[in-house]
Structure 1
Amino acid sequence: MKHTRLDRRTLLSTGAALAAPLFVPGLARAQAAERRFEPQIAGWRTFEVTTTVQVADVQGATQLWLPIPDITSDYQQSVDNRWSGNADTIGLTRESKHGVQMLHATFAASNAQPTVTLTSTLRTRNRAVDWNARAGQAEDPAVLKANLQPTELKPLDGIVRKTALEATKGATTDVDKVRALYSWVIANSWREPKTRGCGTGDIQAMLETGNLGGKCADLNAIFVGLCRAVGVPARDVYGLRLVPSAFGYKELGGNPANLKGAQHCRAEVYLTGTGWVAMDPADVLKVMRQETAEWIKDPAHPIVAPVMKGLFGSWEGNWVGWNTVNDLVLPGSADRGTKSFLMYPNGENASGRFDESSPDSFKYTISARELST
């Protein structure tokens, strides 16, 4: 089934009034001390990411789809993907509309415990924009055009367009527009820990209801949609945190031994003359809401300010990006409805589509380890 807009937003808190930026006093002096968050381009790091699926609900024939690192860029390189298990058929396949690559496994109805282990090896490094440098090769115009289009959950007309124009009023350059929208999302949205998974990215419903709370797939989707609505190419990048942050922010890293719930999407914008630029307003909002025991509501707070500055143009290389696609159909799936994104393991059998946001009932685990180079 295709996604509906308003129903799923009702799962989120309706406390829109909490979005107003306010300073919350009372943080310990040690917490209030300004931290560093300054990712700089450095050497490559190599990681192995292992996903193991053992299907718990065995009803009829089973299919599994697992994301792989399908991004090659100046911040990420895929080395290889290898797999094992008891599937009848298994291998890499591409989704027809966007060409995104994934691992696809099928199991006969007689298989009592469908099992797959996927190990992906990749290299990643910090990303930081040099605002004074000129981009090398210009991006393919077809890629830029694709990243200016609406998606099912990111329409670019109506309230989305209206909000984007109001937020960028007076901005004359694309950089000014992007900075205004980045600040607008941080000032008007908030991290909602009760949101399931990473959220859905239903930005029209969020804007129509005024309920701008959510997680990364909601908050960065608002940013991406608003950018596209004023003519700036932008895209979500769906991925997974791998290891702790080198800058000491507990909310900006993952536990490599157990990456359950470590999925995280980021964002990029394309600026003429500069190229694709890293962005992540959702992680600024995560630090504000969850880095300390108290909810920090002032982005100028010394714990938040370095992150707000740093995530406008840089990323830390403790994360892997799977892909950048929206509105995809899983190859071979009996359910021909579109998925908003591919960031989690997916599966289905005679009982229907598995709950990707529930690794304990789906029965999958993800872990990572850094390899010496």
Structure 2
Amino acid sequence: MTTVRRTFLKNTAAAAVAAALPSLNFAQTPTARGHFAPQSGAWRTFDVTTRVDIVKPEGVTKVWLPIPSVNSDYQHSLGNSFSSNGTTMLTQDGQDGAKMLYVEFAATEKQPYVELTSRVQTQGRAMDWSQKNAPAESADTLRYFTRPTAMIPTDGIVRKTALAAVGNAKTDVEKTQKIYDWIVTNTYREPKVRGCGEGDIKTMLETGNLGGKCADLNALFVGLCRSVGVPARDVYGIRLVPSAFGYKELSGNPASLKGAQHCRSEAYLKGYGWVAMDPADVAKVMRLETTDWIKNTTNPVVAPVNKALFGGWEGNWMAYNTAHDVALPKSTGEKLGFLMYPVGENAAGRFDSYAPDDFKYQITAKEIAA
């Protein structure tokens, strides 16, 4: 069967802007752990490659691969190339616009494969709280990011919890800080949870089981914010390279990014725009960065991370999308809570995206020097 290969620019305007920027290779020597201060201004360029090989094909097989579709002040999603012995189509989820590569393999194909390479530019984020001059977001967009979703309701126990957390806070910044602090204080990283978790925040609150991973804890942050009128959203992506600040748990291994998927979050704060947030990574550092489970944010390993991730994050990470309740085109399965992993299915059902060695898929990253 003929191999398909195609290259395209995902967003011409963003690509043109990005092309005018320096593509800097900041392969920094990690600093001593205990210092964590991401900054913007140093753009890095990466090629991120996802390779899928269907080990045991059974009938017609379908695969969906997320494509980075975020273009913003912290990321430029430039272009994608791909090859496969299946039928390929670039498509997207109709509601949130999460872009993906869809591949369908005939039942007669004995060794189905697809390889996708996406080029992105990323940079760190750090909010300058002395500046309050961000352009206003549209009212429709802000309403959209206060809506409930299947996994993130905004009423009942979610709103009750949020109201207790914010107390007498008046401004959006104060409310968001209170909710961020509540997440860090009351939730915890649970290593036994598979993948990044499911993000079912109502069940978490009703059961009192507040352990989880990034898609759980940051979804809870987003839901609590939305329930008190602060627009917020999850941002689904993957860590690409080691942290420049020596934190092993905030790093990716570019040679093998299995398990490097990571969900962050953003809150819209008047005057500041969309602001980076990641209380889930604070919980990860507290639980896993040292041999002891750190239980307080004043610890010198945790304190700088806790401070920096309210308003910032490190640019060693790539965003895929901000989509919830994703309907996969041509799928016979249910909607996904989010699209951050390769997804596949055949007549027997959907594959286990959290088992890359069984699926089978591999993700790698390569930094492109200037």
TM over 0.5: yes
Cα RMSD for the two superposed structures: 1.0
SS across alignment from 1:246: coil
Normalising by structure 2, report the TM-score.
Answer: 0.90
Please say if 1:360 is aligned against 2:357: yes
Q: What residue in structure 2 maps to residue 105 of structure 1?
A: 103
Match of 1:128 in 2: 126
Alignment-mate amino acid for residue 366 of structure 1: I
Shift of 1:91: 2.6
In structure 2, the residue matched to 1:347 is 344
In 2, the alpha carbon distance for the partners of 1:169 and 1:213 equals 23
The answer to whether the 8 Å contact 2:152/2:200 transfers is: yes
Does the Cα contact within 8 Å between 2:151 and 2:201 map onto a contact in 1? yes
- 1:124-159 CA distance string (max 9 Å, x none): 001111112133431122211110000101111111
C-alpha contact (below 8 Å) 1:125/1:316 kept by paired residues: yes
Give the secondary-structure state (helix, strand or coil) at the position aligned to 2:292: coil
Give the structure 1 partner of residue 67 of structure 2.
68
CA contact (8 A) 1:81 1:119 kept: yes
Alignment-mate amino acid for residue 362 of structure 2: T
| SS in structure 1 at match of 2:352 | coil
Structure 2 equivalent of residue 26 of structure 1: none
Identify which range, 179-188 or 55-64, moves more after superposition: 55-64
Counterpart of 1:29? none
Q: In the TM superposition, what are the counterparts of 1:303-318 in structure 2 within 5 Å? A: 303-318=301-316
Aligned to 2:335: 338
Among the aligned pairs, what percent are the same residue?
60
Amino acid at match of 2:69: D
Instruction: Write the distance in 1 (CA, Å) between the matches of 2:204 and 2:131.
Output: 37
SS in 2 for 1:221: helix
Tell me if the contact between 2:142 and 2:231 (Cα under 8 Å) persists in the aligned partners.
yes
Alignment-derived partner of residue 158 in structure 1: 156
The residue aligned with 2:369 is 372
Tell me the CA shift for residue 34 of structure 1.
7.2
Tell me what 2:50 maps to: 51
CA distance in 2 between counterparts of 1:198 and 1:94 reads 22
**Structure 1 SS opposite 2:205:** helix
CA offsets per residue over residues 69-115 of structure 1, 9 Å max, x none? 1000000001110001211x213112222222111111111111210
**Counterpart in the other structure of 2:25:** none
Q: Could you tell me which residue of structure 2 aligns to residue 234 of structure 1?
A: 232
**Does 2:51 match 1:80?**
no
1:64 and 1:345 in contact (8 A); partners too? yes
How far apart, in 1, do the equivalents of 2:243 and 2:324 lie? Answer: 28
Whether the aligned pair in 2 keeps the contact of 1:34 and 1:302 (CA below 8 Å) is no
Distance 1:207 1:85, change over 3 A: same
How far does the alpha carbon of each residue in 1:162-181 deviate from its partner, in whole angstroms, 9 at most, with x for none?
Answer: 00000001101110000000
Alpha-carbon separation, structure 1, partners of 2:65 and 2:147: 26
- Residue 208 of structure 1 aligns to a residue whose secondary structure is helix
Residue 236 of structure 1 aligns with an amino acid whose one-letter code is D
Distance 1:302 1:204 in 2: 33
Tell me what 1:3 maps to.
none
Q: Note if contact 2:33-2:246 (Cα within 8 Å) is conserved in structure 1.
A: no
2:28 counterpart residue number: none
Report the 3-state secondary structure (helix = DSSP H, G, I; strand = E; otherwise coil) of the residue aligned with 2:110: coil
Map of 2:3 onto structure 1: none
Does residue 116 in structure 1 map to residue 114 in structure 2?
yes
Query: Are the aligned partners of 1:127 and 1:314 in contact in 2 as well (CA < 8 Å)?
Result: yes
**Partner residue in 2 for 1:168:** 166
Distance 1:130 1:255 in 2: 30
Residue in 2 that maps onto 1:5:
none
List structure 1 runs of 4+ shifted beyond 6 angstroms. Answer: none
The match for 2:17 is none
Counterpart Cα distance in 2 of 1:118 and 1:34 = 34
For normalisation by structure 1, the TM-score amounts to 0.89
Give 1:328 deviation, angstroms: 1.2
Contact between 1:85 and 1:117, CA under 8 Å: does it hold in 2? yes
CA distance in 2, matches of 1:294, 1:137: 44
AA in 2 matched with 1:157: D
- Name the structure 2 match of 1:209: 207
Superposed, 1:23-38 pairs within 5 Å as 35-38=34-37
What is the CA distance between 1:271 and its match in structure 2?
Answer: 0.4
In 1: Cα distance, 2:100 partner to 2:133 partner: 30
Whole-angstrom distance in 1 between the partners of 2:57 and 2:314: 39
Alignment of 1:181 with 2:188, yes or no, is no
Q: Distance in 1 between matches of 2:68 and 2:133?
A: 24
Aligned letter for 1:183?
D
Distance in 1 of aligned mates of 2:296 and 2:98: 39
**Cα distance in 1 for residues equivalent to 2:322 and 2:129:** 24
Alignment CA distance shift 1:362-1:34 (3 Å): closer
Q: How many correspondences in the alignment?
A: 339
Check whether the contact 1:251–1:287 (CA below 8 A) recurs between aligned residues: yes
CA contact (8 A) 1:48 1:122 kept: yes
